[in-house]
Every structure is written in structure tokens, then in C-alpha cells.
Amino acid sequence: MFYCLLVLSLIFACSKNDTYQPPATPTDLVINAQVVGVTDSTPNGDGSGNVNLMLSGKNVTSYIVTLPTENRTMSLNAASGTVNCSFTSAPGTVTQFPVNISAYCNTVKIDTAINVTVYCSAGATPGEGLVWSDEFDGTSLNTSIWNYETGNLGVNNEVEYYTNNATNVSVQNGYLQITALYSKNYNNSGWDYTSARINTQNKYSFKYGKVEIRAKVPGDQGTWPALWLLGNSINSAGWPACGEIDMMEQGTVTGFDNILCSLHWGTAGAVINQSHPNSIKVTGSTTDFHLYSMDWRADHISFYIDNVLFYTQANNSTMPFNQNFFFIFNVAVGGSMGGNTINLGTSSTMYVDYVRVYN
């Protein structure tokens, strides 16, 4: 395994007297950049463009990591931990990418930078093959793209009340954040939990292509996060006739780190077809970001996790997966996959770094 290791020992001589103590300064910063998929035959990685950046230091309260070529900034609010970086370049190229790191001790900051050399075998440079995306780099949800769904929708025995409150859904630090909270009898609604559900219905939909969503899911009991799509015919055909594509689904009942990717279709009130209801183990799904991808074509739909194929379902003209679909992102509480035991604490937020659609 290849490691690009940079150890910076930052020593500052500070004058002091009996009454003044200078503020603590981050020191002994260790940056360990691990390119994913390095072997003897692939010395610059497996082509995914993914790099795990492991950070630690003394007197550090947080880090800001900036990827200039990707126009993306990420944060780590801890003295040590891992930041997952994803790089894109022209397919089949080996590229050296800059990474800027700022280590903070409260308001005292130390800046440094490293370069990582990464092989990119797939994907595309920004703007090349990319037909639509939301990078969540702003300060609020882009309502020209997304709709808020509110209330309890009366499905799956869920017990949350969806809101458009900033405490439940926000865009900050380069991420979409959807948080489930305990909110006793919220607004006299009779519901004790709030969360958020957003969709792109009537604002963005598409048929066929490659989709990538980079996300970290919550790990508190009772949460049920999902990144999924419904067919545009939902209002006329109903469910499941409109078709449902679940790119990522996880819940307390399935077990944390067990991720579902599945398809649903059929006739309302009759047989509901479900493709691949089994889950796959994704270690660290609640603590690290992972890439959930789909390759959707007229003859098949394939699901990938961290660029590894999970399964493929044949598609044909008798199935509903040949029309436009729109996105839905939500964190449900309780219900069929959230379960009856609910204990929301410090891990009830789903973070989405980006969603991208390629042709």
C-alpha cells in the first residue's frame, strides 16, 4: 500500500511574561494521503480518483481542506480524522492535484499544502459529459432545482414530520445536510420527530445516463436515509407503476453499514416487483463519505458503491425505467426500515457532497 506522508513540525518561539500566555498554535501536523486502489500494477490508484486524507496534530480543533481543481472545500471538526477527496480529470490520465490544508486551534490557523498524483480512468472533467449537477457549494438550498416536501406523508409507518426549517435541511461547508431531530409535538402536529425531504419534481428529471452521489449517512437508531428517484408518471400512474430507483437506502432494521440498492415496479394494488432486496456491507458508511453510482441504460441498470459493481438488473420496454425520473433525498424516522426504537443524538444527519448526472 502506498502512502504519501508529510509530517510538518511547526515550532514557534514566543516571548512571554508573567501575565501573558500566547494562544495555542497547531503543531506536529501529520498529513497522510492514501490513494485508493494502489497496487504494484496500479501505483497511482485504481482509476476512481479517490484519495483518503488522514489528518492529525497537536493543539488542533478543526481542519479545512480545499481542492482547488475541484472547486470544493471540506471540513473536519476534530483533532484527527479522515477526509475523503475525489478528483476528476480527462479519462486515462495521471494528474498531480494540489490539496490545501488549514489546521485551526480555535481562531489560530496554520496553512500548508501537498500534491497528490492520481490516475483517473473514468468519469469526465467538469463540463465534459456532465449534463447536470448540484455541488452544494452555496449557503442555502437552490430552490430553482429542489422542492421541499412538508408534513407527515402517511407512508411506511414513518413517524417524522418533514419541514423546510434550517435545523432540518441546510447547505453549508460544501454539503447538503438533512438532520432528523426530536421535536416533541412539533407545532402541535402530534408528531415528535422532524426531518426533511427534498425532490426535483417538475424542475429536473432525466432518462438514462450515469449518476454519482457522494454521501455520508446517519448512524442513530431510528433513522432511515435514502437517495432515490421516482418516475415522472407518479401522479398519473401511481406507485409502483411509475417505477422507483433506490441508489442508496439504509436503516436501523437493515443494520448500519448495510446498504440497499434496489428497483421497484409493478401494478398498484397487485404484485410489486422488487429487484435485489439484499443489502451489501459498506464499512464506515456512517462515519465516512462513499460514492453511490448508477449506470442506467435502455437495456440495463447497474449499481456501484465506491466504483465497485454491486449488481445489474436487465431493463426492457415492458418496465417503467424508460421514462424521465426525478431525485428525492430524505431522512425518514421509524417506519419499515427505521424501526420502533428511536434514539436521535449526534449522528442523525445525512451529508451529501454532490449529485452529478453524466450522459
Q: Is the pLDDT score of 11 beyond 60?
A: no
**Span 260-276, pLDDT tens digits:** 999 999 987 666 788 88
Partners of residue 290 on adjacent β-strands? 215
* Contact assessment for residue 118 and residue 98, using Cβ atoms and an 8 Å cutoff: no
Name the pLDDT band for 37 (thresholds 50, 70, 90): confident
The question of whether 244 is a catalytic residue gets the answer: yes
- pLDDT tens by residue, 181-233: 999 999 999 999 999 999 999 999 999 999 999 999 999 999 999 999 999 99
Closest CA to 301 of 352, 346, 262, 266: 262
Output b/e per residue, 74-111; b: 16+ Cβ within 10 A.
bbbeebeebbbbbbbbeeeeebebebebbbbbeeeebe
pLDDT for 349 beyond 60 = yes
What pLDDT was estimated at residue 301? 94
Tell which wins on pLDDT, 141 or 63. Answer: 141
By three-state DSSP, how is residue 39 classified? coil
- Tens digits of per-residue pLDDT, 57-91? 999 998 888 888 876 777 787 889 888 788 887 66
Predicted pLDDT of residue 19: 59
pLDDT at 271: 61
Give the residues across from 63 on adjacent strands: 76, 103
Q: What is the pLDDT of residue 269?
A: 66
- Of 121-130, 154-163, 185-194, 197-206, give the lowest mean pLDDT range: 121-130
> Which of the two residues, 17 and 110, has the higher pLDDT score?
110
Asked whether the predicted pLDDT for residue 335 surpasses 80, the reply is yes
> Are the beta carbons of 81 and 62 closer than 8 angstroms?
no
Q: Report the top-level CATH class of 4-120.
A: mainly beta
C-alpha cell at 80: 484527527
Neighbours of 267 (CB within 10 A): 12
Q: Which option is the CATH number for 130-358: 3.40.50.2300, 3.40.190.10, 2.60.120.200, 3.30.70.270?
A: 2.60.120.200
Closest to 116 in 3D by CA, of 81, 92, 89, 87 = 87
pLDDT of the residue at 16: 44
Average of per-residue pLDDT across 32-38: 89
Is 3's pLDDT higher than 70? no
Q: How far is CA 61 from the centre of its chain?
A: 24
Predicted local distance difference test score (pLDDT) of residue 240: 93
Residue-level pLDDT at 41: 75
> CB neighbours (10 Å) of residue 340?
12
pLDDT of residue 133: 93
149 is catalytic: no
pLDDT at 36: 86
Considering 70, 158, 212, 244, which one is annotated as catalytic? 244
**How confident is the model at residue 10, as a pLDDT?**
40
Residue spans of the domains in the chain: they are 4-120, 130-358
| Pair 303, 315: CB distance under 8 Å | no
Map residue 234 onto helix, strand or coil. Answer: helix
